[in-house]
C-alpha cells in the first residue's frame, strides 16, 4: 500500500529539492485516478464552480458544495493529502473561518486553503492552534476577480511584488503550511520560494516553485479557452490515467512548466 502523504512528506521534498504535484479533483473517481497517478496532494478547488457548475467565476460556490465534493473525494481514500478550498466570504472573519473549516475538515479535508494576504494572519493562527493546517493562496486570487478587473497577472510592478513577498512571509509566520502562488512572474515566484521555509506551489508562476498545481479539466484539455500556463496532457496520451501520469512525471522531471507557460 502506498504511504499517505502528510505535510512532513512535503516539507522533506522541499528540503531535498524534489518537486511535488497537486491536481484538483472533485469526486471519488478522479481522486482515485489522480492519487494512483502519483499526485502528492489533491485540491478540492472552488474552481468546481466554473468547471462543474458552469459559473463564470468561483464566487457563487457555497460551503455546502465544498463540503459535498470534499466528502466525495475523501471516500476514494487517496494516499494524496486532501486540501479543500474555503469558498468566497466563508472566511471573512476568524469565527466564520473556524466554522467553515470545521465543516471541511469533518467532510474529510486534511488542510484548508484560503485566498488572501496579511489580513488573514489572525485566522490562520487560530486555525493552526486548533488543529487545522492551512494552505494560503496569493497572486491572482480568483475570488477577487472583480477587484482585479479580470484574470490578470499580478506582481508585475515593484510595489505589487514587494507586497506579495511581504504577505507570503507574514502568512508563513502566522503558521501556514503551504502557499499557492497563482499567475505571477516566474522570477518573483522563484524568489519567494527560496525565501520561505514552507513549500510553495505554483500555477502560472514558472518552474522555480517547489510544486505545481493545475485544474483537472484544464490539464485534460477539456476547457474551451485555457490560460497560457496550461499544458494539455491529453495530447498524445492514450487514456486519462496516462495523461495524469504524464503531468506528474513532467513536474517531477522539471519538464513542466516550460518557458512558454510562464509570465515575466
Contact status, residue 210 vs residue 19, Cβ threshold 8 Å: yes
Q: Does 116 bind ligand KIV (CB under 6 A)?
A: no
Q: Does 180 bind ligand KIV (CB under 6 A)?
A: yes
Q: Does 40 bind ligand KIV (CB under 6 A)?
A: no
Report how many residues bind ligand KIV under the rule CB under 6 A.
Answer: 11
Is 182 catalytic? The answer is yes
Paired strand residues for 16: none
Q: Which of 71, 160, 182, 259 is catalytic?
A: 182
Minimum CB distance to ligand KIV smaller for 127 or for 203: 203
Give the pairing of strands 20-24 and 81-85: unpaired
Q: Compute CA distances 27 → 31, 32, 88, 162, 229, whole Å.
A: 6, 9, 21, 38, 24
For the stretch 255-264, what's the b/e string if a residue is b when 16 or more beta carbons lie within 10 angstroms of its beta carbon?
ebbeeebbbe
Which one of residues 41, 47, 123, 231 is an interface residue with ligand KIV (CB under 6 A)? 47
| Minimal distance, residue 1 CB to ligand KIV, in Å | 28
Q: Does 46 bind ligand KIV (CB under 6 A)?
A: yes
Residue 164, classified by CB atoms within 10 Å of its CB into exposed (0-12), middle (13-18) or buried (19+), is buried
Q: Does 24 bind ligand KIV (CB under 6 A)?
A: yes
Phi first, then psi: give them for residue 61, nearest 5 degrees: -70, 130
Q: Does 215 bind ligand KIV (CB under 6 A)?
A: yes
Please state, as a whole number, how many other Cβ atoms lie within 10 Å of the Cβ of residue 12: 13
Q: Does 27 bind ligand KIV (CB under 6 A)?
A: no
Q: Does 43 bind ligand KIV (CB under 6 A)?
A: yes
Q: Does 90 bind ligand KIV (CB under 6 A)?
A: no
Q: Which three cell numbers stand for residue 190?
A: 522563484
Q: Does 87 bind ligand KIV (CB under 6 A)?
A: no
User: CB under 6 A: which stretch of 43-51, 76-84, 228-236, 250-258 binds ligand KIV?
Assistant: 43-51
Residue 13 sits at the vertex; the CA angle it makes with 261 and 165, to the nearest 5 degrees, is 55
Residues with a known catalytic role: 182
Interacting residues toward ligand KIV by CB under 6 A: 24, 43, 45-47, 85, 180, 182, 203, 213, 215
Amino acid at each position: 500500500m502506498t504511504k499517505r502523504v502528510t505535510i512532513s512528506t512535503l516539507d522533506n521534498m522541499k528540503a531535498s529539492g524534489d518537486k511535488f504535484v497537486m491536481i484538483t479533483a472533485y469526486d471519488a473517481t478522479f481522486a482515485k485516478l489522480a492519487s494512483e497517478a502519483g499526485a502528492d496532494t489533491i485540491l478540492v478547488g472552488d474552481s468546481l464552480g466554473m468547471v462543474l457548475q458552469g459559473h463564470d467565476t468561483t464566487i457563487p460556490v457555497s460551503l455546502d458544495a465544498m463540503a459535498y465534493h470534499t466528502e466525495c473525494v475523501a471516500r476514494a481514500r487517496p494516499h494524496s493529502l486532501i486540501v479543500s478550498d474555503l469558498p468566497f466570504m466563508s472566511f471573512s472573519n476568524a469565527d466564520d473561518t473556524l466554522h467553515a473549516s470545521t465543516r471541511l475538515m469533518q467532510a474529510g479535508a486534511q488542510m484548508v486553503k484560503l485566498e488572501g494576504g496579511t489580513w488573514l494572519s489572525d485566522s490562520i493562527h487560530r486555525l493552526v492552534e486548533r488543529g487545522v493546517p492551512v494552505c494560503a493562496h496569493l497572486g491572482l486570487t480568483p475570488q477577487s476577480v472583480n477587484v482585479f478587473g479580470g484574470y490578470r497577472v499580478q506582481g508585475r510592478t515593484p510595489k505589487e511584488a514587494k507586497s506579495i513577498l511581504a504577505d507570503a512571509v507574514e502568512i508563513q509566520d502566522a503558521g501556514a503550511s503551504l502557499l499557492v502562488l497563482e499567475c505571477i512572474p516566474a522570477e518573483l515566484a522563484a524568489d519567494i520560494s527560496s525565501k520561505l521555509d514552507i513549500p510553495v506551489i505554483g500555477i502560472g508562476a514558472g518552474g522555480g516553485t517547489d510544486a505545481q498545481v493545475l485544474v483537472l479539466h484544464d490539464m485534460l484539455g477539456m476547457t474551451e479557452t485555457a490560460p497560457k500556463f496550461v499544458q494539455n496532457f491529453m495530447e498524445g496520451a492514450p487514456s486519462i490515467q496516462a495523461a495524469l501520469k504524464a503531468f506528474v512525471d513532467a513536474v517531477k522531471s522539471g519538464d513542466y512548466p516550460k518557458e512558454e507557460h510562464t509570465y515575466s
